Structure 1
């Protein structure tokens, strides 16, 4: 590869450091505090924000968004970073965020990985080496991925989960627990209701009485084993003392598609 090349339409801030043989495509943006190692190729319309360190011999294809702020409401603008190793391929529209202050402040990706189109690596994740993330695979925050892991298309990994080395996650699977090394995970059926969002309600100021009424409504609708009409009658009873349950009833009555049960 030839010496450093930056397309005339690209913007490279003065504080960026580009190694020998780096190529920056048309209309791409490289911010201050970005370091890019030798022979790495940045395609057109990419954005790389800092602090970010990228190793050598990487290929970042067009429209990737690298090193953006963490998508975390608690983030207050502190200095956090992203570190990417060597020989990775990052395809179109992939997004990789920097870390957060309270979790070490760093998102890390190792060497020789393939992150295909529309993949997302959220804040404070750690990805090993030789992994393949197929199209639209998504990591929530604080996920740890071992070496040689394959995530099939449309896989979603819940925050704080660990995926052990050599694991395989099948297409469309949603993972909300740790997966040991070597294990295969497959999608099983469609989504099912799994209780109410109690923690989220507490964070939004719902008191114990309100949450208790909502739980009673949930049990009537999903746990009692009755028909929808019978469950609706029970909801109507509870709604007499709960504005929240009345809102549930209004939602059911106003829907055009069948209720997920």
Structure 2
């Protein structure tokens, strides 16, 4: 039997399957479908024609618009019938036609979206992605499976992100970019193939990072990506100089971490 809070409002032309949990203040507009394993937190709104299925939890205050399909099975060719999950945080906005899939059992079984994210029309979050807080995905952005997106990242319209790629916090991805390699925190990537073009100084300023700190991050960026030698070695060599600068340490930790994809750099060029 469903657990439906007394203050929830459900349009008579929507279907809420037995077993669903509907929180206080939830509004479900016309022609929606809520599956039997779904949990909708307080004050969630399904505007109309929205589908929320699978073992999906939607956090308090999130709004889901027309024709979005949230919690569908993974599109991985290796998908099994085992229950996996999708967890969506609080106060997200999920616009028209957005699709988000549950995880795959082979890789932990969880797709996770943080708080206060904005997903514009027809963007896609594939199986096993981990999306941070305050992320913006513009129209038609495509995340393949297992992508990790850090807090406050912005991904421009029509960009496509390769599976297992990492995008660091406060990074900016230009529209129509092909993201085939990891993008450092605070980095800007543009183009197809995507190239690292420097630091997201505007985003850093908007995040309240002091001008003097931004200046230090620029110096560290040059030390890492200019000149001869391995990026990883150069990053390790400057760590002692920046132990008091969390933003540079974010970048150095990102570079040092084990990863499935190579690192985007200014030097990557199209072959041929």
Q: Confirm or deny a common fold (TM above 0.5).
A: yes
Give 1:104's aligned residue: 108
Displacement of 1:73:
1.3
Displacement of 1:3:
2.2
Displacement of 1:187:
1.3
CA contact (8 A) 1:43 1:63 kept: no
Give 2:172's aligned residue: 168
Aligned equivalents of 1:156, 1:25: Cα separation in 2: 32
Q: What do the CA deviations read for 1:139-167 (whole angstroms, capped 9, x no partner)?
A: 00000000000000000000000000000
Q: TM-score, normalised by structure 1?
A: 0.71
CA contact (8 A) 1:144 1:162 kept: yes
Aligned equivalents of 1:125, 1:107: Cα separation in 2: 5
CA contact (8 A) 1:170 1:187 kept: yes
Q: What do the CA deviations read for 1:171-198 (whole angstroms, capped 9, x no partner)?
A: 10000110000000111589xxxxxxxx
Question: 1:61 pairs with 55, 59, 65, which one?
Answer: 65
User: Aligned runs of 1:1-261 on 2, under 5 Å?
Assistant: 3-188=7-192
Gapped regions of structure 2 (runs ≥ 5): 1-5, 195-271
Displacement of 1:50:
1.8
- Pair 36,74 (structure 1): closer, same or farther in 2 beyond 3 Å: same
- Pair 79,148 (structure 1): closer, same or farther in 2 beyond 3 Å: same
Q: TM-score, normalised by structure 2?
A: 0.68
> What is the count of residue pairs matched by the alignment?
190
Aligned equivalents of 1:172, 1:146: Cα separation in 2: 20
Q: Which runs of 4+ in 1 moved over 3 A?
A: none
Q: What do the CA deviations read for 1:212-251 (whole angstroms, capped 9, x no partner)?
A: xxxxxxxxxxxxxxxxxxxxxxxxxxxxxxxxxxxxxxxx
CA contact (8 A) 1:34 1:51 kept: yes
CA contact (8 A) 1:83 1:109 kept: yes
CA RMSD of aligned residues (A): 1.5
Aligned equivalents of 1:137, 1:91: Cα separation in 2: 12
Structure showing greater Rg: 1
